[in-house]
């Protein structure tokens, strides 16, 4: 990014610095350098204010799955706005769009689900999932079950409860988080978490033993739910080792702890199945959806719950006289109409099957080009979701010191090469729109490889 301040006081860059607060950004640094203004997009490509084009290798924030310029989504938005621009779902009111969307989500759900709650973002739906877990355990006479478990490095959002579930320091520092009772356990990442000479099987066994010991120490009668992502996207594209989720599911069933699957990133074909839950063999009680639900064309999220949850909360609200969770825009008709059309496109374009076919093209291309690079320690992923682990040395495996900021340097050089990716520490995350083709994947791999090679050639690298 150009570090010179824009010379025109009324440029978009200058106006941005004077008016906007940016998330996941060094705000003080931003006041110095300003933003890169992205003005348009088509397919998997975006263009900035200077006319440069970039291959959008992160689907924005893991979300614009169907790419830019999908006319059917635009038309669905316009048609619904003209018919019914807004209505709510409180006080026994309803309207067609969210009913049709809820029915479709229940039809395609990866495990049997009973009802759907709608919100506006993944953070909100994760927050609502936590509240519903409390509500459920109160409903069945176990109010002491109030604690939550999630992984270190997990990302579940940025509302107060969702940020507490999130296992990253930046979501907590300075915000007085996490809240009490939001607990974190070891990240199931073999490369960075295994002990010397520990096999992957032994690593899984140790993590599951540690998890059960933690459950017993806290008291299973005090734990409401475990939140997990099928693939930990923002944690560094971490795919848990074989056997981990099977063992996790058994422990939760054994100790009567609910499972919440956060499918904000992994749903709607991203992993090669319509849901990551299917790919990873999970059996959640609640499923959080967002991002790809509308392909990010308009904000919306959803929370699917099984009959165990819904039947209990329904009866409980009857005893209380009301279900006290509400949101002005829950089930917004325009968002629901766009989401329904997005799901139609996922099905008509056979996106899950297409993603599964492209998985070896992306992962194989990365491994062929970068597998032997001395600063690449691991290439991992599933479907069209990949992570390239950058290391100071391959043999013996030596991670970079965080102060070296090698990953951010690679991401900056990739952007100079016309590719937008994300550095999560020293993991380069890759999450292109699911409409990407093989030629575009080849460009993505080439541009990333050239950025890594350039970074490695710099003095002091």
pLDDT in tens, 51-62: 999 999 999 999
CA neighbor of 136 nearest in space, from 224, 253, 220 = 224
Which sequence spans correspond to the domains of the chain? Answer: 36-69+350-457, 72-348
pLDDT at 8 (0 to 100) = 80
Neighbours of 374 (CB within 10 A): 11
Place of tokens 């209505």: 87
80-123 pLDDT, tens per residue?
999 999 999 999 999 999 999 999 999 999 999 999 999 999 99
pLDDT at 412 (0 to 100) = 97
Task: Give the tokens for residue 94.
Answer: 């309803």
pTM above 0.85, yes or no: yes
User: 72-348, what's its fold?
Assistant: 3.40.640
Backbone φ and ψ of 32, nearest 5°: -85, -45
CATH 3.90.1150.10 fits 36-69+350-457, yes or no: yes
Profile the chain (461 residues) by mean pLDDT over runs of 10 residues.
59 95 96 95 96 97 98 98 98 98 98 98 98 98 98 98 97 98 98 95 98 98 98 97 98 98 98 98 98 98 98 98 97 98 98 98 98 96 98 91 94 98 97 98 98 92 70
pLDDT at 7 (0 to 100) = 56
- Prior bond of 265 cis (ω within 30°): no
The strand pair at 419-420 and 53-56 is best described as: parallel
pLDDT at 1 (0 to 100) = 42
222-276 pLDDT, tens per residue?
999 999 999 999 999 999 999 999 999 999 999 999 999 999 999 999 999 999 9
pLDDT at 396 (0 to 100) = 87
CA distance 390 to 408: 11
pLDDT at 3 (0 to 100) = 45
Neighbours of 95 (CB within 10 A): 18
């Amino acid at each position: 990014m150009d570090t010179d301040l824009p010379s025109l006081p009324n440029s978009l860059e200058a106006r941005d610095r004077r008016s906007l607060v940016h998330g996941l950004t060094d705000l003080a640094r931003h006041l110095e350098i300003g933003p890169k203004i992205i003005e348009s997009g088509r397919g998997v490509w975006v263009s900035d204010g200077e006319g440069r084009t970039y291959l959008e290798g992160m689907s924005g924030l893991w979300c614009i799955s169907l790419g830019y310029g999908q006319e059917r989504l635009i038309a669905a938005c316009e048609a619904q706005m003209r018919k019914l621009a807004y209505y709510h779902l409180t006080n026994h009111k309803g309207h067609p769009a969210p009913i049709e969307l809820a029915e479709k989500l229940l039809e395609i759900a990866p495990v049997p689900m009973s009802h759907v709650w709608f919100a506006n973002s993944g953070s909100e739906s994760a927050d609502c999932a936590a509240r519903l877990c409390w509500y459920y355990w109160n409903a069945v006479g176990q109010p002491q079950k109030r604690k939550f478990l999630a992984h270190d490095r997990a990302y579940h959002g940025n509302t107060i409860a969702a940020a507490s579930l999130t296992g990253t320091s930046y979501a907590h520092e300075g915000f007085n988080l996490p809240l009490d009772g939001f607990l974190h356990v070891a990240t199931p990442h073999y490369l960075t978490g295994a002990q010397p000479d520990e096999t992957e099987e032994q690593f899984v066994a140790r993590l599951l033993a540690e998890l059960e010991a933690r459950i017993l120490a806290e008291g299973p009668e005090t734990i409401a739910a475990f939140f997990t992502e099928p693939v930990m996207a923002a944690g560094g594209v971490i795919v848990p080792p074989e056997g981990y989720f099977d063992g996790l599911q058994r422990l939760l069933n054994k100790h009567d702890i609910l499972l919440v699957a956060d499918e904000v990133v992994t749903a709607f074909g991203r992993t090669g199945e319509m849901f990551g839950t299917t790919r990873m063999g999970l059996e959640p009680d609640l499923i959080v959806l967002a991002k790809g639900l509308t392909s990010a064309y308009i904000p919306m999220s959803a929370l699917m719950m099984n009959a165990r949850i819904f039947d209990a909360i329904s009866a409980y609200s009857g005893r209380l006289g009301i279900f006290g969770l509400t949101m002005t825009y829950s089930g917004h008709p325009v968002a629901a109409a766009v989401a329904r059309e997005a799901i139609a496109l996922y099905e008509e374009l056979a996106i899950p099957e297409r993603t599964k076919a492209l998985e070896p093209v992306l992962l194989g291309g990365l491994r062929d080009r970068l597998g032997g690079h001395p600063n690449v320690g691991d290439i991992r992923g599933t479907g069209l979701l990949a992570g390239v682990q950058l290391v100071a040395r391959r043999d013996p495996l030596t991670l970079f010191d965080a102060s070296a900021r090698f990953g951010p340097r690679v991401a900056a050089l990739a952007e100079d090469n016309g590719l937008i990716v994300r550095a999560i520490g020293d993991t380069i995350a890759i999450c292109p729109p699911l409409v990407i083709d093989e030629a575009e994947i080849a460009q993505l791999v080439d541009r990333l490889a050239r950025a890594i090679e350039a970074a490695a050639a710099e003095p002091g690298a």
